[in-house]
Structure 1
Amino acid sequence: MRTQVVDHPLVSHKLTTLRDVRTDSPTFRRLTDELVTLLAYEATRGIRVESVDITTPVSPTTGVKLSTPTPLVVPILRAGLGMLDGMMRLLPTAEVGFLGMVRNEDTLEVHTYAERLPDDLSGRQVYVLDPMLATGGTLAAAIRFLVDRGADDITAICLLAAPEGCERLENEIADLTVPVSVVTAAMDERLNEKGYIVPGLGDAGDRLYGVAH
């Protein structure tokens, strides 16, 4: 597994405002959108392309276009939805699937409650959107789910990650032969006793959409 922390002053600037408890939901959503686009730029460096012949106003030339099948973007519900627009701004021709996974706050185990994905992902590059790589359980389960469908290259884009989550993720997918990358804006200090990232930014879903009762 490859882990990349994007070191860029604009990433750090936007992330600082996201962390601030005073940042309201509309601002949080806008900054998440902007931050994901910056992270997606790095995350798509290995995106598959193929040659294409075109003619400019001056002469013929050869360029590149995204390969077929097109990439699949998969936000993890619900918080991953807040990252979707920022990703699609960079990859407007990508297809979108949805995966609903929830973590039991007592056992920290992951349960899949919904999915809307192609039955066959053979030959597909998949970009998973999950704001917080905390315990790593949700992302590990999502990656295994996608590999079982045939995905052969997976990149996870996360706003924040914790060392414990990265270690667990790496251990839980160690037997997979599919290349997996994690691109994040920061590697934080640790998890607290409730499984939250410290210093973190709180519950990303609640800060994006408000507290769901």
Structure 2
Amino acid sequence: MRVQVVEHPLIAHKLTQLRRVETSSNHFRQLTGELVTLLSYEASATIATERVRISTPVTETEGTQLAGPTPLVVPILRAGLGMLEGMTAMIPTAEVGFLGMARNEETLDIITYAERLPEDLTGRHVFVLDPMLATGGTLAESIRFLTQRNAARVSCICLLAAPEGIERLEREIGDIDVELFLGAIDEGLDENSYIVPGLGDAGDRLYGLAE
């Protein structure tokens, strides 16, 4: 597994604004989209391409276009939905699938409650969107789910990660070809498995449903 913290002044600035407790849901959604666009630029650097012959208004030339099969973007419900617009802004031709996975707050087990994906992902480069890599359980289960359907490559984009989550991924996914792109790696997890300093519950902050 390759782990890359994408270092850029704009990412650092926007992530700081995202962390602020006073940031509104509307501003939080805007910042999330902007951050994902910046992270996806780096995450898509190795996407498959092919040469193509085209005509410009002046002459014929050779250019580059994305190669098939079409990339697949998979946000993890529900918080991953807040990252989808930023990703598709970068790769508008990508197809979109969905995985609904939730953590049982008592047992910390991962439950798959919904999925809308092609049955066969042979040859597909899949981009998984999940704002927070905390314990790593959800992302590990998502990667296993996708590779069982023969995904050729999995690139995961997270805004924040805890060291414990990264270590669990490295331990559980073995030799699966996975890339992990992060805005930052935080200090660790608290007793409730929340990332510290973190930014709170990303889903609640995106959609304004915090109590």
TM-score band, normalised by the shorter chain?
over 0.9
RMSD: 1.0
Deviation readout 1:137-191 (Å, 9 max, x if unpaired): 00000000000011010000000001110000110101x4x31000010011111
- Correspondence for 2:69: 69
Instruction: Give distance in 2, aligned partners of 1:202 and 1:163.
Output: 17
Structure 1: stretches of 5+ with no match in the other structure: none
- Correspondence for 1:93: 93
Calculate percent identity across the aligned residue pairs.
67
Q: Displacement of 1:122 after TM fit?
A: 0.4
Question: What amino acid does structure 2 have at the position aligned with 1:205?
Answer: G
Instruction: Give distance in 1, aligned partners of 2:49 and 2:78.
Output: 31
Structure 2: stretches of 5+ with no match in the other structure: none
Q: Displacement of 1:59 after TM fit?
A: 2.1
Instruction: Give distance in 1, aligned partners of 2:190 and 2:210.
Output: 22
1:55 aligns with 2:55: yes
Instruction: Give distance in 2, aligned partners of 1:212 and 1:160.
Output: 20
Q: Following superposition, which runs of at least 4 residues in structure 1 exceed 3 angstroms of deviation?
A: none
- Correspondence for 1:194: 192
Q: Displacement of 1:53 after TM fit?
A: 0.5
Instruction: Give distance in 2, aligned partners of 1:105 and 1:210.
Output: 20
Question: What amino acid does structure 2 have at the position aligned with 1:154?
Answer: V
- Correspondence for 2:182: 184
- 1:1-213 matched pairs, under 5 angstroms: 1-174=1-174, 176=175, 178-211=176-209
Q: Displacement of 1:58 after TM fit?
A: 2.3
Q: Displacement of 1:5 after TM fit?
A: 0.3
Calculate the TM-score normalised by the size of structure 2. Answer: 0.98
Report how many residues are paired: 211
